[in-house]
Amino acid sequence: MARTPADLVGAEPAPAHHIEFDGRPVPALPGQTIAAALWAEGITAWRTTRVGGRPRGAFCGIGVCFDCLATVNGRPNQRTCLLPARPGDTVTTQEGHGRADLAV
């Protein structure tokens, strides 16, 4: 049985879970991307540029521009607009190229 837009009008998401962003809890709905959860919480930047340290967040929302990169669960350069928010995920602001531990 196919769902129609009219069926979805009354849909309610499952209860929210939490991810952690720079040490603070952020609610996320099941199926929501990390970028969407951060936006919903009023967080608009979670990366800084390599040159100048300018703030960046989601721009295109479809994984093309790479402005939404963040470190997720210790892995740098994760596209948060494509990555589902899973309970317990730890997201940290990514500075520059995301490899501060390397002498580049």
pLDDT digits (tens, 9 = 90+) for 25-74: 999 999 999 999 999 999 999 998 888 889 889 988 888 888 999 999 99
User: What is the model's pLDDT at position 1?
Assistant: 62
In angstroms, the CA 72 to CA 103 distance is 21
Contact 72, 19 (CB under 8 A): no
Identify the residue whose tokens are 């769902």.
3
User: Which CATH class for the 16-95 domain?
Assistant: alpha beta
pTM value is 0.81
Domain boundaries, the chain: 16-95
- The pair phi, psi for residue 30, each rounded to 5°, is -55, 130
Q: CA torsion angle for 16, 22, 72, 27 (degrees, to 10)?
A: 10
Q: What's the pLDDT at 104?
A: 46
